[in-house]
Amino acid sequence: MATPVYLDIAPVLATNTPFGCPHILDIPSLYTKPLYHHLHIADIIATILYTHNPSTLSSFFDLEKPFRFQASHPSEDSEFTIIREGRTVRCGYQQVGNWFGQAWDEEHVYRMGVDARDPWVACSLKGHGVKIVSEDSVLKWGEKFCFHLIKQRGELFGVNPEGLMNPEVA
């Protein structure tokens, strides 16, 4: 596995921190390089939030306030959602129109480090009738989820994957 290219554009994050810490990804390089990359949910979340608006990423790291980000897609009946309560981060697809807002089609749960530059710990994955709590398994499924988002939801990263996706990637 190759390490993805990290961008040094978010002052709150560093490019020289180890895998598992949040980084801003160079998304076009993931589409064009014929390599399989080692991806982490922390990187995907940081990249999506920074792409949406750099201040959204700053708000995410303000642990004094709860955080919620949602992005709908016209062809889906669920919304891509990021929720942070304290240092617990949940992301995945949450059903649209759910009265209680708690039904997830797929939910990845991670625990942030004390600082924005600390690694995240994989806690669990729930969805499709299963719950996984083995850290290695959660990380593997998280990586597949990252590739799904890059391939299917390019608008979250400000790119149009048409013509960029190399068939050897993901």
Query: Does 163 fall in a domain?
Result: no
Q: How many domains does the chain have?
A: 1
Residue 167 lies in a domain: no
Domain assignment present for residue 170? The answer is no
Q: Is residue 109 situated within a structural domain?
A: yes
* Confidence class for position 169, pLDDT limits 50, 70, 90: very low
pLDDT at 87 over 50: yes
The percentage of residues in the chain with a pLDDT greater than 90, rounded to a whole number, is 39
In a domain, 17, yes or no: yes
Specify the pTM: 0.85
Structure tokens at 111: 């625990």
Q: How far apart are CA 46 and CA 58, in angstroms?
A: 10
Decide if 21 is inside a domain.
Answer: yes
* Secondary element (H or E) of residue 32: helix 27-32
Residue matched to tokens 């949406």:
52
- Residue-level pLDDT at 78: 79
Cβ–Cβ < 8 Å for 169, 35 = yes
User: For residue 147, is it within any domain?
Assistant: yes
- Residue 33 banded pLDDT, cuts 50, 70, 90: low
The whole domain housing 74 covers 6-157
Return d(Cα 69, Cα 45) in angstroms, integer.
10
What's the CA gap between 157 and 152, in Å, rounded? 11
pLDDT attached to residue 162: 54
53 neighbors 31 (Cβ within 8 angstroms): no
Alpha-carbon dihedral 116, 117, 122, 127, rounded to 10 degrees: 50
Determine the Cα–Cα distance for residues 64 and 90; give it in Å rounded to an integer: 17
What pLDDT score was predicted for residue 166? 39
Report pLDDT digits (tens) over 129-141.
778 888 899 988 8
Neighbours of 91 (CB within 10 A): 24
Asked, for residue 166, whether it belongs to a domain, the answer is no
